[in-house]
Chains A and B, each alone.
Chain A
C-alpha cells in the first residue's frame, strides 16, 4: 500500500521557537496533502489543505501565519509551527491522496504523526 512518512516523530522545543515537520509520500505522487491536529481523546481536526505549487487552504480558526505550510513538490509538504507556545503541543498528522486520481475512492494515506511538546 501507499506509504506516507512524517519526520520527526516527536519533538520537544522551547516556547517561542519554530518547529518544522515534514510529510513525504514515498511511493506515489500527491497533489494534495492534508494536515490534521489531534489533542488527547479528541478527533482529528483538519487544519489545512496543502496543494502542490499553490497556497494552502486553511480551516476556520487556524492561523495561517502561525502554521506555515509549503508543498513544493508532489512528494513533500512541510508544516512549520512558528513561535510555538505550550498550547500548540499536540499530535500533528499529515495525509495524502494519490495524484492523478479522482476522489472517487477517497482513501487517505496517513503519516505516523509527529508529537510536538512545547515547554
Chain B
C-alpha cells in the first residue's frame, strides 16, 4: 500500500531563516503532491500543489520541489516568521475522485 513519511516530527528554527521540510513516499506514483498547513484544533488549509511533471513551484515565501525519481518533495519557507509556526502536512492523491492520503505532519516552530 502507499506510504507517505514526513521525516521530522518537529522542526525548530530562528526567525528569518529558511525552514525545509521533507516528504517521502513509497509504492506509488502520484499525479500530484500537495502541501497543507494545519493549526491546532483547526482543519488543514491548502498551500501548494505540484504536478509530477513539475520540478518546482513557488508562492510568495513558499517553494516546493518534487523529485519523482527520489519520490520526495521538499517544502521551503524563506524568511520564516513566528506566524509560520504550525504543522505542515504533505498529501498524495490516491483516487480519481481526489481523495488524498496525508503524512503525519511536521510541527514547525519559528522562534523570534
Count of CB-CB pairs between chains A and B under 8 Å? 64
Q: Which of A78-93 contact B (CB under 8 A)?
A: 91, 93
Q: Which of B70-112 contact A (CB under 8 A)?
A: 89, 93, 95-105
Could you tell me how many residues of chain A have their Cβ less than 8 Å away from some Cβ of chain B? 27
Q: Which of A6-51 contact B (CB under 8 A)?
A: 6, 32, 34, 36, 41-44, 46, 49, 51
Which residues in B have their C-beta under 8 angstroms from that of A34? 98-100
Which residues in B have their C-beta under 8 angstroms from that of A32? 97-98
- Complex Cα distance, B42 from A110, in Å, reads 9
Which A-chain residue is minimally distant from B100 (CB atoms)? A108
How distant is A114 from chain B, measured CB to nearest CB, in Å? 10
Q: Which of B45, B101, B102, B104 contacts A41 (CB 8 A)?
A: B104
Decide: B97 and A106 in contact? CB cutoff 8 A: no
- Complex Cα distance, B6 from A41, in Å, reads 13
Which residues in A have their C-beta under 8 angstroms from that of B101? 46
Interface residues, chain B, CB within 8 Å of chain A?
9, 31-32, 34, 36, 41-46, 49, 89, 93, 95-105
List 14 A-B pairs, Cβ < 8 Å: A32-B97, A34-B98, A42-B104, A43-B89, A43-B103, A46-B99, A46-B100, A93-B43, A103-B97, A103-B98, A106-B98, A107-B34, A108-B98, A112-B43
